[in-house]
């Protein structure tokens, strides 16, 4: 090798891969490169809960898929069963799975079997509430204004001479207008729909009692309360106090749940004194609701109103006990002093 070759070899730029340091870095980089883990997909088989007939087979379902997403996939093969009318469960006679339940967190293998039940045609809670509450408002006013064919031609559109009758109409209308506005602007529903058949049952209850009460309170032969104005004044105070309390509880419950969320929290009293009843009962909204109707019964001294208050109390007690049990089951630190609806009693 001549001197020129040696000089050329020395002056030639060294390639990047020729460097010993670069080689070591490349080796380390190759060692650190993470290996991709293969996603384990699930297979979901959906059977009819009654007949055990296979309705659908879903292949390559993501492990983090929710029950709501599985319902949407199921709807693609059975459009007649939209998600709201589907009930999916792990056991044919078990409880329905929640929409937010995640597939991989359920006690199933990579091949999951779910059982389907048809909940029937559904209707939104908002529609149900608006229908339930608009009916009594209109029905009561028909009797109050004594439209024809109710009390006879002699009394058509003749107003009552008793002030308590007009006051009762104002209170009854106020109650149902409040309910309508709360449905539109206050309530947040954990379930978007309910079975369509329930609207007929609920409307029969509310509309029927409204007609029965209104018929007697606005009747031409109606007799005012036995203790006169003093009884009416006390009753109005009870009614308005409980209406404000009921509204305050609804606002407090609304503030517990962000819009579009199904989050559940323990309700506690706020700065509003009406919410302090949370210290003693789990469902003070029902307590105030019953109190309102007791006040209305005292005001009108009408038997149908008293019966409506009693039936409502029984139904709300059932609801309150259910919610109370749910709170105790879900929250280990739930206040032990609380009763479902009546402090220290029930």
- The pLDDT tens digits for 180-201 are 999 999 998 877 788 898 899 9
- pLDDT band of residue 30 (cuts 50, 70, 90) is low
- Other beta carbons less than 10 A from residue 132's beta carbon: 20
Whether residue 312 contacts residue 305, with contact meaning beta carbons closer than 8 Å, is answered with no
Interval 242-267: pLDDT, tens:
999 999 999 999 998 877 677 789 99
pLDDT in tens, 31-83: 555 555 667 889 999 999 999 999 999 988 998 999 999 999 999 999 999 99
The CA distance from 252 to 249, in Å, is 5
Q: Which pLDDT score, from 0 to 100, does residue 264 have?
A: 83
User: d(Cα 91, Cα 116) in Å, to the nearest integer?
Assistant: 9
Two tokens, residue 37:
């883990």
Burial class of residue 32 (count of CB atoms within 10 Å of its CB; 0-12, 13-18, 19+):
exposed
Question: With 50 as the cut, is the pLDDT of residue 215 above it?
Answer: yes
CB-based contact 288:243 (threshold 8 Å): yes
- Residue 212 predicted with pLDDT over 90: yes
Which residues, at least 6 apart from 129, have a Cβ–Cβ distance to it below 8 Å? 179, 180, 183, 187
* Chain Cα centroid distance, residue 337: 25
In sequence order, what are the residues at sequence separation of 6 or more whose Cβ sits closer than 8 angstroms to the Cβ of residue 97?
67, 88, 89, 90, 106, 114
Distance, in Å, from the CA atom of 346 to the CA atom of 320, rounded to the nearest integer, reads 9
Whether the CB-CB separation of 102 and 65 falls below 8 Å is answered with yes
Residue 147: Cβ within 10 Å count: 12
Q: CB neighbours (10 Å) of residue 110?
A: 13
Q: What is the CA radius of gyration of the chain?
A: 33
> If you average pLDDT over every residue of the chain, what do you get?
89
Give residue 341's pLDDT band: very low, low, confident or very high (50, 70, 90): very high
pTM above 0.85, yes or no: no
* Domain annotation for the chain: domains and CATH numbers: 39-120 (3.10.20.90), 123-330 (no CATH)
The DSSP result for 65-134, as a single string, is -BHHHHHHHHHHH-TTS-GGGEEEESSTTSPPPPTT-BGGGSS--SEEEEEEEE--SEEEHHHHHHHHHH
């Amino acid at each position: 090798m001549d001197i020129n070759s040696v000089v050329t070899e020395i002056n030639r730029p060294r390639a990047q891969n020729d460097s010993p340091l670069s080689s070591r870095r490349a080796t380390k980089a190759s060692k650190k490169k993470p290996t991709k883990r293969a996603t384990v997909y699930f297979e979901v088989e959906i059977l009819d809960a009654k007949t055990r007939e296979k309705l659908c087979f879903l292949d390559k379902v993501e492990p983090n898929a929710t029950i709501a997403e599985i319902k949407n996939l199921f709807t693609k093969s059975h459009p007649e069963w939209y998600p709201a009318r589907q009930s999916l469960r792990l056991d044919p006679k078990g409880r329905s799975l929640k929409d937010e339940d995640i597939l991989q967190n359920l006690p199933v293998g990579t091949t999951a079997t779910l059982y389907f039940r048809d909940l029937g045609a559904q209707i939104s809670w908002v529609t149900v509430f608006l229908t339930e509450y608009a009916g009594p408002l209109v029905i009561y006013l028909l009797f109050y204004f004594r439209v024809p064919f109710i009390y006879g031609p002699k009394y058509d559109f003749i107003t009552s001479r008793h002030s308590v009758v007009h006051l009762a109409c104002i209170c009854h209308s106020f109650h149902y207008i409040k309910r309508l506005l709360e449905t539109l602007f206050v309530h947040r529903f954990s379930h978007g729909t309910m079975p369509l058949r329930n609207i007929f049952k609920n409307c029969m209850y509310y509309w029927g009692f409204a007609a029965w009460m209104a018929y007697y309170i606005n009747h031409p032969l109606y007799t005012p309360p036995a203790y006169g104005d003093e009884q009416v004044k006390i009753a109005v105070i009870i009614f308005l106090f409980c209406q404000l309390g009921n509204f305050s509880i609804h606002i407090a419950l609304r503030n517990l749940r962000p819009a579009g969320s199904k989050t559940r929290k323990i309700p506690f009293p706020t700065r509003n004194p009406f919410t302090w009843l949370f210290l003693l009962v789990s469902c003070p909204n029902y307590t105030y609701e019953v109190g309102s109707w007791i006040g209305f019964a005292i005001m009108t001294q009408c038997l149908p109103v008293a019966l409506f208050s009693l039936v409502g109390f029984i139904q709300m007690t059932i609801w309150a006990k259910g919610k109370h049990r749910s709170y105790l089951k879900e929250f280990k630190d739930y206040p032990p002093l609380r009763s479902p609806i009546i402090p220290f009693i029930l």
